[in-house]
């Protein structure tokens, strides 16, 4: 069965899911997106992800084409029609088609796309052995230029950092803010562990406040661990007992080497492994459940489209 993509009110085959070359998301990166995971039929932290999407839309003055409740239903239907219970969901809302000028007022309506598919951001080996990171020369965009809380389609800042990681043969790149403090990585949030206490960059440093990041903080505190949102530098990373990254795609993955410095004993640490295990359990139960959706709305099938 061909993958079905939700596009502006209907489900279409993957190879027919096309948008205009005049869409300002394509021309200017003018739009927003979210990545959500589903585990065993549970759309993890669905409402938190959607709220962040709608907050981003408000900041960019994009008129969302559906309500947040309707969006939640669309996401569930996209999973159901593709017979997926474990998946990665990508929501994209662009400014929509306009002319070749920059003025968003020339765009008559936003374009809404919802994709549900499988994803594996890192190979399994990285979860078993950990990954290496490097510090990028590219700095995180300062908040007075563009607020990092907006998850926009323009990811060139992060992509340039990822290119540096690729060129160094590393799995990720640490990004500093313009004061030299660690903000996040190119696609993940970062945590360090020292003396059984956990530290992660504070939101005011310009990072994207990840949903997985916030969930890990909850999971860690439920395990009796102290978690602090604060400032720190690469010096603190090099001398940490453990370092790990979090993200919707990455989930929880250990860092064992940073800028050629070995972290701890060079293997994923016990606290990181425990947090990953408990996070997966948490993610499988917290969110919007497909079983409840089907009971309320019925099961959308390919034949029904």
Per residue in 97-117, is it b (16+ CB within 10 Å) or e — as a string?
bbeeeeeeeebeebbbbbbbe
The candidate with the shortest Cα–Cα distance to 207, out of 265, 255, 246, is 246
Given a contact cutoff of 8 angstroms between Cβ atoms, the answer to whether 133 and 182 are in contact is no
State yes or no: is 4 an active-site residue: no
Torsion sign (Cα): 227, 253, 209, 34: negative
Three-state DSSP at 176 gives strand
Number of C-beta neighbours around residue 156 at 10 A: 10
Given the residues 151, 196, 218, 296, select the one marked as catalytic.
151
In the chain, what is the greatest distance between 2 CA atoms, to the nearest angstrom? 58
Catalytic residues: 151
């Amino acid at each position: 069965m061909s993958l079905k993509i939700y596009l502006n009110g209907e489900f279409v085959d993957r190879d027919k899911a096309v948008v205009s070359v005049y869409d300002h998301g394509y021309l200017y990166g003018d739009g927003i997106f979210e990545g959500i995971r589903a585990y065993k039929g549970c759309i993890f932290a669905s409402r938190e992800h959607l709220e962040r999407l709608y907050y981003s839309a408000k900041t960019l003055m994009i008129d969302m084409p559906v309500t947040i409740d309707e969006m939640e239903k669309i996401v569930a239907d996209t999973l159901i029609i593709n017979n997926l219970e474990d998946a990665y969901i990508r929501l994209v809302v662009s400014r929509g088609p306009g002319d070749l000028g920059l003025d968003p007022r020339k765009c008559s309506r936003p374009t809404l796309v919802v994709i549900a598919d499988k994803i594996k951001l890192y190979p399994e080996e990285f979860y078993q052995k950990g990954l290496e990171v490097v510090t990028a020369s590219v700095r995180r965009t300062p908040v007075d230029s563009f607020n990092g809380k907006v998850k926009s389609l323009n990811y060139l800042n992060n992509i340039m950092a990822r290119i540096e990681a690729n060129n160094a043969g590393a799995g990720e790149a640490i990004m500093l803010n313009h004061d030299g403090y660690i903000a996040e990585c190119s696609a993940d949030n970062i945590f360090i562990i020292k003396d059984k206490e956990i530290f992660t960059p504070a939101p005011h440093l310009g990072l994207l406040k990840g949903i997985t990041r916030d969930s890990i903080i909850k999971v860690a505190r439920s395990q009796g661990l102290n978690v602090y949102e604060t400032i720190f530098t690469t010096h603190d990373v090099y001398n940490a007992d453990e370092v790990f990254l979090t993200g919707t795609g990455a989930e929880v993955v250990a860092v064992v080497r940073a800028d050629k410095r070995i972290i701890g004993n060079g293997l994923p640490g016990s606290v990181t492994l425990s947090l990953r295990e408990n996070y997966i359990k948490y993610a499988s139960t917290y969110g919007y459940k497909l079983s409840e959706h089907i009971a309320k709305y019925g099961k959308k099938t390919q034949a029904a489209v």
